[in-house]
Amino acid sequence: MLRRDFLATMAGAAAAAAGAPLLPQAEPSAAKLPRWRGFNLLEKFIFNKGGNRAFQESDFEMMAQWGFDFVRLPMDYRCWAEDPDAPAFNEETLKHIDQAVEFGKQYRIHVNLNFHRAPGYCVNPPKEALNLWNDPKAQDQFARHWAFFAKRYKGIPSRRVSFDLVNEPSGTDNAKYAVVVEKAVKAIRAEDPQRLVIADGNEYGNKPVPEVAPLKVGQSTRGYQPFQLTHYKASWAHGSDKWPEPTWPLGNYTKEKHWKEQVEPWKQLEAQGVGIHVGEWGAFQFTPHKVVLAWMKDMLDNWKKAGWGWSLWNLRGAFGVLDSGRKDAAYEDLKGRKLDKAMLEVLKAG
């Protein structure tokens, strides 16, 4: 038996012994997404900041051993295309993504591919030359890139791979966003009618989009509220260095308020036959560790009650359970990495 097959078998056995769900045999439905739980992996997150590395098998191995079954791969299209109209894509990069899909198969982990930077849009600077919401050319580029991935992974069941179209749309209304989603979904289904497709909510993933419900796609929400807790002293959050040190609850923002504002609107969408998943959530490294853990427990309680899965931003890094750089956390050594065991235990329980 190959080493990776042996590890996958052992990881699956460990997950089963721990009572963690393995991948379902039936294909998932956009109307009711599985309660997948896991992490975002950032190897192809920002192309011009070192983001075009191969995904690490050890990440998949660890997640499986811990009992998780989902990874989201936020990717920058520039990793595989010099420009949106490139006639051919970078095969080395594509093989990295193929390898992640294979790791998912070996370790029974669902792989969710996401365009974090899509032709025509990214939530992070710099702005794209074209505007995905207004420019038909950008929409054609966007659909073409997704059609390519649909053709490449045709035949791989949706219980193993899904597509999350574009990360955290903003600066547009639901109607324009729905046009973009529809074009991409049509392009995908022309190549692979069976592929599971997910669309992020509007306004940075926070608002449901009932306008795309007829397209039979799932939707992805976010778990970054309250923002002054999750992004305390984050350099990209303007003025966050002047915010008071957060507590939990944060003022009048409580577990119950979170349910009312961030869960109930999505439950209303779910009632229309749209499956929901929390594609990103977490708190930055400067929020006090005890506050983060208390907040996490309440968020996980709410999502478990809702029946939703989630993926933490991130596995390794300032929001994650490995090498987060938190000065007030106790770490255990895990093969040379610093593991936040207390956070891991909270996640495993959620």
**CB neighbour class for 335 (10 Å; exposed up to 12, middle 13-18, buried from 19):** exposed
pLDDT at 78 over 50: yes
| CA separation for the pair 316, 323 (Å, rounded) | 6
* Domains of the chain from N-terminus onward: 3-25+34-349 (3.20.20.80)
Is residue 79 a contact partner of residue 47, using CB atoms and an 8 Å limit? yes
What's the pTM? 0.93
Segment holding 294, helix H or strand E: helix 289-306
pLDDT tens, residue by residue, 90-117:
999 999 999 999 999 999 999 999 999 9
Is residue 106 a contact partner of residue 160, using CB atoms and an 8 Å limit? no
pLDDT tens, residue by residue, 144-161:
999 999 999 999 999 999
More reliable by pLDDT, 3 or 78: 78
Tell me, what's the pLDDT at 314? 96
pLDDT tens, residue by residue, 27-47:
899 999 999 999 999 999 999
pLDDT over 90, % of the chain: 91
Dig out the tokens for 271 from the structure. Answer: 């009632």
Per-residue confidence band for 25, with pLDDT thresholds at 50, 70 and 90:
low
Tell me, what's the pLDDT at 26? 73
Q: Which of 12-16, 196-200, 288-292 has the lowest mean pLDDT?
A: 12-16
pLDDT at 273 over 50: yes
Tell me, what's the pLDDT at 50? 80
Tell me, what's the pLDDT at 51? 86
| CA separation for the pair 122, 301 (Å, rounded) | 31
Segment holding 278, helix H or strand E: strand 276-281
Tell me, what's the pLDDT at 10? 43
Tell me, what's the pLDDT at 27? 87
Segment holding 57, helix H or strand E: helix 57-66
